[in-house]
Amino acid sequence: MSHPPLPLLHPRGECAINAAPTSSAPARPDAPAVELRGITKRFPGVVANHDIHLTVRRGTVHALCGENGAGKSTLMKILYGMQKPDEGTIALDGTETALNTPGDAIARGIGMVHQHFMLADNLTVLENTVLGAEKLHGIGGRARTKIMEISDAYGLGIRPDVLVEDLGVADRQRVEILKVLYRGARTLILDEPTAVLVPQEVDALFANLRELKSEGLTVLFISHKLGEVLSVADDITVIRRGTTVASVAPDDTTPQQLAELMVGSELPSPETRESTVTDEPMLQVDGLHLSATDSDGAVRTVLDGIGLTIHKGEVLGVAGVEGNGQAELVEAIMGTRTPDRGTVTLDGADLSGTSTRRRREGGIGYVPEDRHRHGLLLEAPLWENRILGHVTERPNSKGKLLDPAGARKDTARIVEEYDVRTPGIEVTAASLSGGNQQKLIVGREMSHRPKLLIAAHPTRGVDVGAQAQIWEQIRTARREGLAVLLISADLDELIGLSDTLRVMYRGRLVADADPAVITPEELGSAMTGAASGHLTADGDADTGRPASGDTEPTGGDQA
């Protein structure tokens, strides 16, 4: 459905704060929306961008692909005014300009939706949208009207008065898009926008992007999911090791060819062909219940009678739309949340009521969902991050004392063995790209030869090269008897790596799935509460295998 184009929402006289100095030449209607010429950006010890050229046609979806550390994020930060290039020029709509701050970029119609959403959960959609932009349309009726106009025009389906904490991840992403449109963006930068979406939500997002494009807006789409890139992009630019290596049309390339341009190798597959599952239980969770109190004081059940068993050599995948209890399940197993009742047993030892440190020492490795908040100290050097979670274990300690020399030596080993690309182990974790941060975490956890690995979104936001390395590390350890609890929004990853699949919905394990036959679309439907032909509710899978846990969920408990 077509709508009349919305007017720019940032008239110069009202909100062009810190406006960038621009050429007096008028914009050419046929000029590219964005043109970067010869962009170079250096940091101490590394050249992040070298002589990058990028041309983005107005009214298109332009995909930017490349490994983690290839320079994509730095380039987009330059375009959004967060970094200044050492060399090169930026032209917007044919007019050369300088973007010294994000305010400059916003004033020139550029908006950025970051991979990690920047929303306040305790505020409404309206309050999040107008925060920092109160001068545009106030904070009341005019703002609400404008939000609804934008939402209706681009098919976003936004309700202004809903609390953000009550929204699912796909709706939160639409709120982020709404925020930049509200500020007058005509060029949108989307950083890994599908990382946390199920297939049906991806389809809805792409429909939104096509609506934006039909109204003349431009989208820069950063992604590692090459199949999605080919389905939504009009043009594709590939960056490798800080410079542009190719610009291609989707019709003229394949995922395999794109992967080779990005990393010099074929597209990896998570598929695990041989079974290594034993009959020896490693993790047993029985009757796990957990309640939580909402901001309005209401008590709700977030884990409702969870029971599961993971055997040595088995990867058990848990599928579910975020917010259905997966994070709380991990926290209950790790001991960072105390369940109302239920037991957690590791290799025959009852860990219920023990500390997270005791569980770590008992053999649980942990790759957290949010590496920045729970996996790293961003301003600490790599060797100190090597110690996190394992402070009492060698080589990080000798007796009761830390052993910095041992930690440094082992960090250097992890950097080499796991291909963590860094100038050295003394640099901060914040200086690494997301993929290299993730490889450091995986290397740290696998170095202690855990009995159980809890891997929450282990390849979220990493490129195909890092993804392949992490998958291979999991497969190798699985062959050696490692039990893995895998939680991921990447359904191909879940299906490919898992020996057993269970679906989590509203705090319950509601169905089993056979990874050998289920499709991502069927699994995505089950995650939203719909039925699927290859799923069996609450128990025996259609392959005849017993369910992974023998504790039946019970309804409605609010302890």
User: For residue 2, is it within any domain?
Assistant: no
- Give CA–CA dist 488/318, Å, rounded: 7
Q: Which domain holds residue 416?
A: 373-447
User: For residue 491, is it within any domain?
Assistant: yes
pLDDT of residue 184: 86
Q: 511 and 389 in one domain?
A: no
For 198, the token pair is: 């199920």
- Give CA–CA dist 320/329, Å, rounded: 12
User: For residue 72, is it within any domain?
Assistant: yes
For 507, the token pair is: 């705090």
Q: 413 and 429 in one domain?
A: yes
Q: 504 and 408 in one domain?
A: no
Q: 421 and 318 in one domain?
A: no
Q: 487 and 455 in one domain?
A: yes
User: For residue 499, is it within any domain?
Assistant: yes
Q: 546 and 483 in one domain?
A: yes
The residue among 263, 291, 314 that closes a domain is 263
User: For residue 392, is it within any domain?
Assistant: yes
- Which CATH number goes with the domain that contains 541? 3.40.50.300
The residue among 405, 431, 447 that closes a domain is 447
Domain tally for the chain?
Answer: 3
Q: Are 317 and 277 in contact (CB under 8 A)?
A: no
User: For residue 176, is it within any domain?
Assistant: no
Q: 548 and 458 in one domain?
A: yes
Average pLDDT of adjacent 10-residue blocks, the chain of 559 residues? 36 32 50 93 84 93 83 88 92 92 90 79 87 72 86 80 81 84 88 73 82 88 83 91 88 84 68 80 95 78 93 94 87 93 94 92 91 88 89 80 88 90 90 85 90 90 76 89 91 89 91 87 79 55 37 33
The residue among 235, 263, 291 that closes a domain is 263
Q: 489 and 346 in one domain?
A: yes
pLDDT of residue 185: 85
Please state the φ and ψ torsions of residue 498, each to the nearest 5 degrees: -80, 145
Residue 56 neighbours by CB under 8 Å, 6+ apart: 32, 33, 34, 35, 62, 187, 218, 220, 235
pLDDT of residue 18: 33
pLDDT of residue 26: 44
